[in-house]
Amino acid sequence: MRKKIVAGNWKMNTTPVEGVELAKNVVAGRGEVCSCVDFIVCPPFTHLSEVVKVTRGSGIAVGAQNCAAEAKGAYTGEVSAQMIASLGVEYVILGHSERREYYGETSKTLNAKMEQAYANGLTPIYCVGEKLDEREAGKHFDVVKAQLEEVVYNLTEEQFAKLVVAYEPVWAIGTGKTATAEQAQEIHAFIREVLRARFGAKADDTAILYGGSCKPSNAAEIFAKADVDGGLIGGAALKAEDFLAIGKGFSK
């Protein structure tokens, strides 16, 4: 049985005080959602320590939104995987399209970041997804395949067993435009095929999350699809009520 995961990517939102309040509200409402759903909150670095404290023992895990490609040293402004893991953080989002687009992250950087994450016991949530022009040109399968082959194919089987993948079409992020459930299923099934080609039946155990304008009103339909194992939520994760309601969207 694959995990069902609802992860919240808070991006660069909330002050630490507001973030702790949000995390507390998620904890408070957690009991209303099936314990079969794994919730993860991914606040900014500055909030991690406090958010780990308020979520401890609640069944809500904490993730970071990025980590350094290097282990330690003279890398001004960077935050290492070791620093993150030492706080009790369990996950790290890597390869988000905003990091690829605005901070020039390439597969080379991402391979190094994945190594750092695994070396420090963090579980990566590796993001893939095409831009609008790529989808319109019918290149979305090729783009996603390359993003997987260039990074995920370099993992060992042991590392792969821990991996979470998130498919986030760039044209659906923060736009209010969601992929249809059919579009999501089509590409999630394709992602699983690409993973199967390298890791065999182990790919059947990989949680593949959908991200891009996911909200309480559309989550259930998308999550009902066979190869969609949950969501990576941006805007709607900033309201505890909406974030938890998305978790109620599982019918399978």
- Among 173, 179, 184, 209, interactor with ligand 13P by CB under 6 A: 173
| CB burial of residue 182 (10 Å; 0-12, 13-18, 19+) | exposed
Q: Least Å distance between CB 30 and ligand 13P? A: 20
| CB burial of residue 181 (10 Å; 0-12, 13-18, 19+) | middle
Full DSSP string of 131-186? -HHHHHTT-HHHHHHHHHHTTGGGS-HHHHTT-EEEE--GGGTTTS-PPPHHHHHH
214 binds ligand 13P (CB under 6 A): yes
Catalytic-residue membership of 168: yes
168 binds ligand 13P (CB under 6 A): yes
> With respect to ligand 13P, which residue has the nearer C-beta, 199 or 213?
213
- Among 80, 116, 206, 213, interactor with ligand 13P by CB under 6 A: 213
Give the end-to-end CA distance of the chain in Å, rounded to a whole number: 11
- Among 169, 230, 234, 247, interactor with ligand 13P by CB under 6 A: 234
d(CA 153, CA 181): 27
Sole window of 80-88, 182-190, 201-209, 234-242 interacting with ligand 13P (rule: CB under 6 A) = 234-242
232 binds ligand 13P (CB under 6 A): yes
Side-chain half-sphere exposure of 234, counting CA atoms within 13 A: 19
Q: Least Å distance between CB 171 and ligand 13P? A: 10
212 binds ligand 13P (CB under 6 A): yes
Residues near ligand 13P, by CB under 6 A = 9, 96, 168, 173-174, 211-214, 232-236
Q: Indicate which residues carry an active-site annotation.
A: 96, 168
